[in-house]
Chains A and B, each alone.
Chain A
Amino acid sequence: MDDDALVAALRAGDEPVFCEVVSGYHGAMMRLASLHVSSRAVAEEVVQETWLAVVKGLDRFEGRSSFKTWVFTILANQARSRGAREHRIVPFSSLEADEKTLGVPGERFQLPTDRWPGHWSEPPSPWTDVPAAALEGKETRALIFDAIRSLPPHQREVIALRDVEGWSAEAVCSALSMSEGNQRVLLHRARGKVRAVLEQKLHHVVTA
C-alpha cells in the first residue's frame, strides 16, 4: 500500500490497516524509543503516545515526508523529551574527548616523533578467531545495544536508524533534519565507538 492509500485508509478509520501499520513499525519504534528512555515500559509508553499523536494529527499530515518518516519524527521528539525529563542517560565523557580522532582514540596511532607517524601503534587484532557463537550471541547484541545507548543523542539516533533499522542516508537526514555531511560524521563516530566496545569484549574472548 502506498502512502496516499495508507493515509486515506487511516483517515477513514480502517482498523485492520491501523493494526497492520502499528505492528509493522513496532519493533523499530521500540528500539528507537529505548535508546532515549530508561526502561522498556517507558519506551512502550512513548510508542503508545506517539500513535495517539499520529491518530490525532492525521488530518495535519501533508505528505511532505513519507508517512513512516513522519511517525518516526514524532516518536524521536517524544522519546527525546521523555528521556531529557528522566535525565538518565549519561554519555561516555571519555569518548567525547576522542571526537576529533573520528572513532579511534589517538593513542592507537604513532606520534609525529615516531618512525611511522600516524600509522597504527596498537593495530586492531582480527576477529577471525572469535567463535561464531560468541560473535552472534545474545551477549554481543546486548553489548551493542548498550554501546549505542551510551552514545551522545545525535550519534545514537543516526546509528540506530541507519545500521539497526537499515534506513537510507536520505531518510535519516530528512527525519532528523540534518545535512548529509553531518549525518556521515555522526555515523562515523558512532560506528567507531561501537566497534571499539566490541573490540574490547572480543579481545577477551580470544585471549580467554
Chain B
Amino acid sequence: MTSYEDFPCAEAVAMVTDYFEGALSTEDRAVLERHLAWCDWCATYVEQLRETIRLAGTLRDDDVPAPVMDVLIEAFREMRGS
C-alpha cells in the first residue's frame, strides 16, 4: 500500500486529466482515489478543475449576423442552386 509520503501531491495533480478521461490503470486510479480521500488540498484542486471545465462550457451565445447570412445564402445559391 502506497503511503502518503510515497505518493506526492505533485503526482496526483499530474494524473488528474488522465483520471477524468478514464485513462488511468486500475491500480493508478485506486492510488489516486485513496490520495484524494485523504488529501483535502488535492481534493480541492480536483474540484476546482471540474469547476473550470464547467465554467468553460458556459462560454456560449451567438446568432448568425444577418449580413453574413445574406452573403452565404447568395453564394450558396450561386454555387449550388439549380
Task: Report Cα–Cα, A23/B61, bound state, in Å.
Answer: 11
Contact B69 A19 (CB under 8 A): yes
* Contact across chains for B17 and A188 when beta carbons are under 8 A apart: yes
Could you tell me the distance between the alpha carbons of A58 and B73 in the complex, rounded to whole angstroms? 15
Determine the distance from Cα of A102 to Cα of B14 in the docked complex, in whole angstroms: 6
List the A side residues contacting B44 at CB < 8 Å: 123-126
Decide: A184 and B55 in contact? CB cutoff 8 A: no
Contact across chains for A194 and B65 when beta carbons are under 8 A apart: no
A163/B56 contact (C-beta < 8 A), A104-B13, A124-B41, A124-B45 known: yes
B56 x A164 contact (CB < 8 A) = yes
- Which of A118, A135, A192 is in CB contact (< 8 Å) with B8? A118
A67 at the A/B interface (Cβ < 8 Å)?
A: no
Instruction: Give how many A-B residue pairs fall within 8 Å (CB-CB).
Output: 146
Say whether, besides A48-B68, A55-B79, A27 and B60 are in contact (CB < 8 Å): yes
Question: Given A13-B80, A44-B68, A109-B8 in contact, is the A144-B18 Cβ separation under 8 Å?
Answer: no
Please indicate the chain A residues that have their CB under 8 angstroms from the CB of B9 in the complex.
109, 118-120, 123
Question: With a CB–CB cut-off of 8 A, which chain B residues contact A13?
Answer: 76-77, 80-82
- Which B21-71 residues have C-beta < 8 A from chain A? 21, 23, 41-42, 44-45, 47-49, 51-53, 55-65, 68-69, 71
Contact A187 B10 (CB under 8 A): no
| Residues of chain B having any CB pair with chain A under 8 Å | 5, 8-11, 13-14, 16-18, 21, 23, 41-42, 44-45, 47-49, 51-53, 55-65, 68-69, 71-73, 75-77, 79-82
User: Which residues of A are in contact with B by a Cβ distance under 8 Å?
Assistant: 10-13, 15, 18-19, 22-23, 26-27, 30-31, 44, 47-48, 51-52, 55-56, 58, 101-104, 106, 109, 116-120, 123-127, 135-136, 140-141, 144-145, 148, 159, 163-164, 166, 169, 180, 184-185, 187-188, 191-192, 194-195, 198-199
